[in-house]
Structure 1
Amino acid sequence: MGRVIRRRAIVTGVVQGVGFRWSAREKAQELGVTGWARNRLDGTVETEVEGEPPAVEQMLDWLRAGPPGSAVERVDVAEATPDGDDAFRIRETA
């Protein structure tokens, strides 16, 4: 495995109640990235994505588009410290 990076993203728009987290998990598994996704009380979805840079960037691109039924308005991305997740999980609402 090459260099691993982790990114935290807050996704704003119509992103709750549309299967966003489940679709994100499926996409993450397809791309081979790990991390998690959860709804936030403010109506956004928060994610952390970890993996090799090209795969993380592909996942961030997917987050910017979202699944059918969503309407992503904005994705704010910040660097995070890799923590060695072994899967992509759906977490409880924060």
Structure 2
Amino acid sequence: MAEVRKRIVFYGRVQGVGFRYTAKRLAQSLGLTGWAKNEYDGTLVMEIQGREPMIYKLMEGLNHNMFITIEWIDTEEIPVEPESCFYVR
């Protein structure tokens, strides 16, 4: 199965709740790469790369965190990039 890369913007209670570090832990456990960063407008932007079913598992894990409240997401598929880990910006 081919890898994909998605740029996802999360809206809701996504800053100050451990979102980026939860995403990092989940991404590493699922063999995904990419990054996550807080934006000044209160959103969180993530680029995530790997097999699509694993990306869905990451999204499920983020939705089951008691502190994170995702109200809306915008997603777009972008070109795959060479990288070896997931990191927090």
TM-score surpassing 0.5?
yes
Evaluate the alpha carbon distance shift between residue 66 and residue 75 of structure 1 in structure 2; reply closer, same or farther with a 3 A threshold. Answer: farther
Structure 1 Cα separation of the partners of residues 81 and 64 of structure 2 = 25
Q: Pick the structure with more strand per residue.
A: 2
Deviation at 1:59, TM superposition (A): 2.1
Q: Which runs of 4+ in 1 moved over 3 A?
A: 60-63
Partner of 1:89: 87
Letter in 2 for 1:34: T
- Structure 1 residues 13-22 or 53-62, which shifts more? 53-62
Match of 2:2 in 1: 3
Taking the aligned partners of 2:2 and 2:13, their CA distance within structure 1 comes to 33
What is the percentage of aligned positions where both structures have the same residue? 36
Q: How far apart are residue 75 of structure 1 and its match?
A: 1.2
CA deviation profile, 1:33-74 (whole Å, cap 9, x unmatched): 0000000000010001101121122223334x1632121101
- Over 3 Å counting, the alpha-carbon distance change for 1:66 and 1:16 in structure 2 is farther
Q: Which blocks of at least 5 consecutive residues in structure 2 are unaligned? A: none
Unaligned runs of at least 5 residues, structure 1: none
Distance 1:37 1:66, change over 3 A: farther
